[in-house]
Every structure is written in structure tokens, then in C-alpha cells.
A and B are shown apart, each in its own frame.
Chain A
Amino acid sequence: MSRRLAAAFWFVVPFVGLVVIWAAIVALTGVDRRVFPQVTDVARAFADMWASGELATHVGASLQRIAIGVVAALVTAIPFGFALGISRWAAAFFSPLLRFSVALAGIAWIPLATLWFGTGEQAVIFIVWNAMFFALTYNAMLGVQRIPTELLRAARSLGTTRLRMFSDVMLPGALPSIVTGLRVGLGYGWRGLVAAEIIATNAGIGYSIFLAQRFFRTDVIITGMIIIGVLWLIVDRVLLAPLERRTVERWGMKAVVS
């Protein structure tokens, strides 16, 4: 327990340092606080947003979109990635397209998405899905390709039917790589979400930042930025880290770092 506490302490220390430097710089330089707000201004903006329920609305809207986008990306990218992992022909055929698409994934699609879906939920979810899809597909493919041949052979000669090879061998076998894909993909999806919310919606953290810009509310903007970062840390701690601990680490399989 004390080790956990120590780990938590050292996790927080750099942030505390950052806040102290920030407060000191604003106080010593006497910069216009409308241009660069003091720590207390941001804290007040946060408290106001919390009290008015605005914060909950924005966070709720963003989290719901990311959740739908992630589920959509998982159910589409894993089967596609598996198909590519199994068929050498399909992998060779789609590889150039995949590489091409990775560079474009997410934000570059916002103009088209708003034309297709209008400024609403669908466009944002499309961007989240799109931002994650290629990273997840690519890692699912690698995951299947990296399963040792002997493991597949062992399963076959233990009586595994072709259908059950998917659920009982390939899915767990590719999981380390899929978890990596999820981590990378969620990062893309998160950024895509914020960017898409600026343009395509009327609620959400990204939207709240954009709105604040129009009224020169730098305190609200920075509050929104901090929330985006904190939410990511929470998702990482609550979702990804336990997933890795329960699977990849417990099984002694190294998470694939790509």
C-alpha cells in the first residue's frame, strides 16, 4: 500500500511543480490576467462550471461520444484486422491503403464529415471512429500475424475447429497487440473528438473551449484543456491499465510497443 501511495505521490509532484511555476510567473510578470489567467482564476472558472452543471453536461456529452466511437471502432476494426492477419493476400493488398489512411485519419475528415452528417452527434462520432479505426485495424492484423505458428498448430492438433480458432486462439493470442492498438487509437480518437466538437456540435469539452474563445475567457479555455488531459489520465488508469494488468501482464505476454 505504501508503495502505491509513493507512486501516487510521485505522479502528482510534476503537476504541482507546474502549477507553482505558473502562479509565480503570472504574479512576477504582472501579465494581463485576461491574456494569461492566474491559477485562482482557473480554479474559480472550474468551480462555476461545476456549480452550474455545465461541466457535467460537457463531460457527459464528450464521454458518450467517445464511448460510442470506441465501440464502433472495435467491432469494425477487429474483424477487418483479423481478416488481414489471416490472409497474406488481403494484407498485401490493403497495406498501402492502410498506411495512406493513417496519415489522414481523424481531423482531416472533419470538413467532409460535417458536409455528410451535418453539425451534430453523427459527425463527431464518425471522426472518433475514423481516428481510431486504422490504428486498431493495423494492430489487430499484426497481433494475428505474430501468433507463433506452433501455437496455431498445437490448437489444431488438440481438436480446435476452424471457427473456434478465432475465439479461442486468435483473439486471446492477438490481445496484447489489440490492447496496444486501443491505447494508440484512443489517443487519436481523443484528439479527434476535441477537434470535431469545436466544429460540429453544441455541447462537449471541445465545444466549451471554442465558445470561451469567442468571449475571451482564457480561464474557461484553460479549465477545458485541463479537463481534457485529466479525463485522458482517468481513462488510461481506469480502463487501459487494468485491462493490461489482467491480460497481457498476467499471462506474461509483453505488450507490443509499436
Chain B
Amino acid sequence: MKTLEISGLHKQFVDSYTDEVVTAVGDVSFAVEQGEFISVLGPSGCGKTTVLNIVAGFEKQTDGSVLVGGREISGPSPERGVVFQSFALFPWKTVLGNVVFGLRMRGVPRQEREPIARQYLDLVGLEGFERKFPHELSGGMQQRLGVARVLANEPEVMLMDEPFASVDAQTRRKLQEDLTGIFESKRPTVFFVTHDVDEAVFLSDRVVVLSSRPSQVNEIVTVPLERPRDWRSVLDDPDFRHTVTHITDLLSGDESRVVQADLDSA
């Protein structure tokens, strides 16, 4: 049984001003295995966030199904934790309070919460910052906290929507390496959304490449890189460069088709 199974996903929005119907997701199907790191990649505006929001239970699909552990999802649930681009930390909670939050909500006994939370804070490298408030942390550290907060809940799948897009390039590299490290030690199932080809290839076992709107799965690319991974050795790896080139071609081929379609319709 697959951990996450998406089939025939379709989503239309009705623009509230113009009443125009926008098809955000055309027809998307793919499955994620337990302990797999999968990225969803595609041009901006192709519906990646919409797919993630449906899987998270924040939005309802127009058609198609999403199964987690074989069961149809209904609404948000701690089995599907979300790491947001904007971090979405609770500013009124300390670092420790943020990680403990989910455990409290799920009724984990008080004396068990803190050891669990500390374990995950150590995992993401935030030991010693327990009593700080989120606004006292750098962007990179805030997102580490966002990851710890989700992992402490031990979700079936961790959903991440361009989580490193709002940190500087230097920090982003480090966060990507650390996320890979965490993944390699804990093997959570990860559903990662990005528009950055290098990032997707570096992190993932497989990359789901979406076409532009109305989005469909263009190709699911398996990444042939060994683990553990780090940027130094991956950048020198010809397999990395081949995979990146292949995906870049897929995306630009898609773009030229769009241009062609525009020319045809003109």
C-alpha cells in the first residue's frame, strides 16, 4: 500500500470578481512510497500549491481522489503536517512551545511532551534556543523550527511548500543539506513542492514534473544519486547534471509549446 496516492486530481477555481473559471490543476496522478522523498516541480502558477493544499486538506478538489494509507482524506489532520514558505510559527509561543503545540493538541501526556520536543529540536540543530521566541530567530532557524514542529507529530507524510524560498541563497544550501541529513536518519515520507530544479534533484528520490496550466504530470524522473548526499559531491556528479539538464529540457519544451500555442491562437 502506498503512503500517499493521488489519482485524477482536478481543481477549478471560480474567480470571485469575474466569475471566470480557472483550472488550476488539470489531471494529476502519482503515488508516494513510505519513506520516500518526492518533489513536485513545475513552472510558477502551474498549480503546485493547489495540489499541496488539497493533500493537506485545506482545499477540496473538484474531481479525483487523495488517499493516505489507503483512506480518503477529509480535512486537515496531524497525519499530514505542513511546512509553510512563510514559516507560520506561533509568535506567542516559545521555540519549545511551538514544537510541543501539536503534541498538546493530540493529547500526549504532559511529561512525555518535552523530551519528544527536545529530541526534534536537537535533530534540527535548535538545542539551546528553547526559550526564545520565533521573532528572535533568523529565517533559516525559523524554518528549522517549522520542520521540527511537524516531525514531532510523526506524520504519515510531511508536506513542504517551497519552504526555503524566503531565505538567502547561502542559508538555503545549508538548509537543503540539513534536510537531506534529517531525511536520511529518520526516513519520513516527504512531499516537497518547489520550482527550483537543482533543489528538487538534490533532495529527492523522484521528481514529479508538472506541465504548465492546466497542469498534468509531464514525467516522473527518478534521481540516480546515492545517499548520503551533500552539495560538494553532488555538484561534481555527472548524474546530477544529467538529471538537471533533462528536467530543464522538459520544462523549457513545455514553455516553447505554450509559446507555440499562443502563436497558433493569435
Contacts of B92 in A (CB 8 A): 172-173, 175, 247, 251, 253
**Please, how many angstroms separate the alpha-carbon atoms of A175 and B91 in the complex?**
11
B81 contacts A by Cβ under 8 Å: yes
A148 contacts B by Cβ under 8 Å: yes
Taking CB atoms and an 8 Å cut-off, the chain B residues in 77-110 that contact chain A are 77-78, 80-82, 84, 86, 88-92, 101-102, 105-106
A34 contacts B by Cβ under 8 Å: no
The verdict on A159 contacting B77 (CB below 8 Å), with A250-B133, A252-B134 known, is yes
Would you call B76 and A151 a contact (CB within 8 A)?
no
Interface string of A223-244 (1 = CB under 8 A from B): 0000000000000000000000
Given contacts A151-B88, A158-B149, A169-B90, 7 further A-B contacts (CB under 8 A): A153-B56, A154-B88, A158-B153, A159-B102, A160-B105, A250-B133, A252-B134
Contacts of A151 in B (CB 8 A): 88, 90
Would you call A153 and B88 a contact (CB within 8 A)?
yes
Contacts of A168 in B (CB 8 A): 101, 105
**Please, how many angstroms separate the alpha-carbon atoms of A161 and B102 in the complex?**
11
**Please, how many angstroms separate the alpha-carbon atoms of A252 and B84 in the complex?**
19
Which of B78, B86, B134, B136 is in CB contact (< 8 Å) with A157? B78
Q: What is the interface size of chain B, counting residues whose CB is below 8 A from a CB of the partner?
A: 28
Cβ distance B189 to chain A, nearest Cβ, rounded Å: 15
Cβ distance B213 to chain A, nearest Cβ, rounded Å: 23
Contacts of A156 in B (CB 8 A): 57-58, 75-76
Would you call A153 and B133 a contact (CB within 8 A)?
no
Would you call A157 and B82 a contact (CB within 8 A)?
yes
B246 contacts A by Cβ under 8 Å: no
Q: In this complex, what residue of A is CB-closest to B101?
A: A158
Taking CB atoms and an 8 Å cut-off, the chain A residues in 147-171 that contact chain B are 148, 150-151, 153-161, 164, 168-169
Which of A153, A172, A253 is in CB contact (< 8 Å) with B82? A153
Would you call A251 and B91 a contact (CB within 8 A)?
yes
Contacts of B89 in A (CB 8 A): 154
B135 contacts A by Cβ under 8 Å: yes
**Please, how many angstroms separate the alpha-carbon atoms of A160 and B93 in the complex?**
15
**Please, how many angstroms separate the alpha-carbon atoms of A252 and B133 in the complex?**
8
**Please, how many angstroms separate the alpha-carbon atoms of A160 and B81 in the complex?**
12
The verdict on A153 contacting B76 (CB below 8 Å), with A158-B153, A247-B92 known, is yes
Contacts of A164 in B (CB 8 A): 105
Would you call B153 and A251 a contact (CB within 8 A)?
no
Q: In this complex, what residue of A is CB-closest to B80?
A: A157
Would you call B88 and A158 a contact (CB within 8 A)?
no
